[in-house]
């Protein structure tokens, strides 16, 4: 069943082939948006396009490395060519390396900062002029609860997500006059392949790791579909007076933090 919260709009979603990105792509399409799915995982991205098409929606897949300016430019050019414009950008691509500053390699540090932060700069730089010429738009960035509070053995991830929170606020200030809203989501632990991969990085049993992740007021980890609903709110006109905010969606995980 199709909704209409994004009827007539076009959305670009990075990291759209799996996890939160996949769920958001499917939801945005159900709500009427034409969707460009951006990812390095081509088979998974094509499968998401197929699912959207079966449901009566419109979508294309673009294989791209969002840390490369030329790839980002190609994604935006094809989207405009296919759909005529861009109204929503969901900067969702992200990776994690669980390590302290003593443990992490320089290459891993650079990779996390590039995917989690630089990609937002590169994609937004391409999209903002298009949105401004069209009279506005919405940019949603994926940050993290660890962008607001620190976590153990996650130094570069925390640094990158903290950067996303403040980059979001700076962009909201710079582009509010162009009627471009910029917000970020700060998810708590969410049941995705990335979360399960953290257990392997830390050398922990997956079931125990997930059980520990569920220790929050609501007593469970989140689902990608729940984070997608937050992205929909920030992308749609339901949040028309919301910009520069970091929306925490974490089952109460940060409720007791100062």
At residue 257, the pLDDT reads: 83
Instruction: Using the predicted structure, report yes or no on whether residue 1 has a pLDDT greater than 70.
Output: no
Predicted TM-score (pTM) above 0.95: yes
Residues 6+ apart with CB under 8 A from 134: 85, 86, 87
Residues 6+ apart with CB under 8 A from 154: 96, 98, 99, 146
What are 119-172's pLDDT values in tens digits? Answer: 999 999 999 999 999 999 999 999 999 999 999 999 999 999 999 999 999 999
Structural domains present in the chain: 10-187+227-249 (3.40.50.720), 189-221 (no CATH)
Q: How confident is the model at residue 3 (pLDDT cuts 50, 70, 90)?
A: confident
Instruction: Using the predicted structure, report yes or no on whether residue 20 has a pLDDT greater than 70.
Output: yes
Residues tagged active-site: 157
Mean pLDDT of 171-181: 99
- Whether the CB-CB separation of 227 and 250 falls below 8 Å is answered with no
The pair of three-digit structure tokens given for residue 73, joined into one six-digit string: 């430019």
What are 38-69's pLDDT values in tens digits? Answer: 999 999 999 999 999 999 999 999 999 999 99
- How many residues appear in the chain? 258
Sheet holding 180-187, edge to edge: 58-63, 34-39, 10-14, 88-91, 137-142, 180-187, 246-249
What are the phi and psi torsion angles at 166 (to 5°)?
Answer: -75, -30
What are 238-252's pLDDT values in tens digits? Answer: 999 999 999 999 999
At residue 149, the pLDDT reads: 97
């Amino acid at each position: 069943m199709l909704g209409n919260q994004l009827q007539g709009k076009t959305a670009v979603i990075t990291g759209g082939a799996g996890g939160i990105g996949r769920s958001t792509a499917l939801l945005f399409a159900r709500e009427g948006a034409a969707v460009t799915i951006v990812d390095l995982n081509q088979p998974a991205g094509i499968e998401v396009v197929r699912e959207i098409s079966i449901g009566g929606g419109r979508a294309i897949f673009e294989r791209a490395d969002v840390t490369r300016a030329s790839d980002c430019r190609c994604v935006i050019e094809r989207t405009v060519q296919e759909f005529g414009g861009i109204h929503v950008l969901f900067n969702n691509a992200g990776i994690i390396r669980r390590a302290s500053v003593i443990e992490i390699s320089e290459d891993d540090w650079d990779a996390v900062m590039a995917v989690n932060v630089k990609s937002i700069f590169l994609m937004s730089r391409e999209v903002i002029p298009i949105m401004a010429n069209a009279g506005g738009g919405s940019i949603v960035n994926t940050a993290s609860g660890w962008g607001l509070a620190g976590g153990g053995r996650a130094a570069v991830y925390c640094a990158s997500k903290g950067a996303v929170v403040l980059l979001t606020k700076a962009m909201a200030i710079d582009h509010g006059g162009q009627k471009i809203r910029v917000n970020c989501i700060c998810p708590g632990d969410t049941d995705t392949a990335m979360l399960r991969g953290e257990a392997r990085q830390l050398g922990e049993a997956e079931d125990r790791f997930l059980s520990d992740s569920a220790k929050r007021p609501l007593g469970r980890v989140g689902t990608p579909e729940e984070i997608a609903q937050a992205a929909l709110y920030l992308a749609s006109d339901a949040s028309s007076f919301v910009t520069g905010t970091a929306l925490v969606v974490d089952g109460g995980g940060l409720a007791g933090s100062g």
